[in-house]
Amino acid sequence: MQIRPLSIADAFEVTPRQFPDDRGVFLESFRGDLLAEVIGHRPQVVQTNISVSSRGTVRGIHFADVPPSQAKYVTALSGALLDFVIDLRVGSPTFGQWDSVLLDTVDRRAVYLAEGLGHAFVALEDDTTAMYLCTAAYNPGREHGIHPLDAEVGLVFPDGLEPLLSPKDAAAPSLAQALDENLLPSYGACLALARELADQDQDQDQGQD
């Protein structure tokens, strides 16, 4: 398994090693221990989500209040999607910037994004099925969105796709509006949460000795 940092700090592309034979293929799609080596703590999966999307469907940009927010590990079970990580952390060196990874059933990559980062994707094929491993349960009172077509964010979608948004995502504020309304997480709060999670991991390891 190869884990590559994206251009947004605390986000990673994960490429598993695949073992094909005449029966099909086998792979390890998630390794919490290997991920812990690069993020500083073992992610605790609390909730698993699955979405099925038609071609052109855009989901996001979504994020949650910090703490606890919600780290995500996203992969495609069928079809293909272009996955976006957007830095919404006020004070971050890459605030407002984004990176993307193609998730499909060929390379079977995954994307990990830490708490406080924004997430979105666009489905490239009909019946694209995405699976998300989440470190916190969904809490509607603490969930927020940014309009995925906000020109200031500038997400680039493949040519020939007509974006299909939910009413909720279509009504989401722009990045500038969310900043003015103090909806965005601070970079300092995200760093503090990461240190807290690392300390909790260390305390658990010491308790097992």
Q: Where are the domains of the chain?
A: 2-201
The residues annotated with a catalytic role in the active site are 62, 132
The rounded distance, in Å, linking the Cα atoms of 147 and 156 is: 13
What's the pTM value of the predicted model, to 2 decimals?
0.94
The rounded distance, in Å, linking the Cα atoms of 12 and 5 is: 4
What fold characterizes domain 2-201?
Answer: Jelly Rolls (2.60.120)
The rounded distance, in Å, linking the Cα atoms of 128 and 48 is: 17
Per-residue pLDDT of the chain (209 residues; tens, 9 = 90+): 999 999 999 999 999 999 999 999 999 999 999 999 999 999 999 999 999 999 999 999 999 999 999 999 999 999 999 999 999 999 999 999 999 999 999 999 999 999 999 999 999 999 999 999 999 999 999 999 999 999 999 999 999 999 999 999 999 999 999 999 999 999 999 999 999 999 888 767 666 65
pLDDT at 39: 96
pLDDT at 200: 87
The answer to whether the bond into 185 is cis (omega within 30° of 0) is no
pLDDT at 111: 98
The rounded distance, in Å, linking the Cα atoms of 57 and 9 is: 27
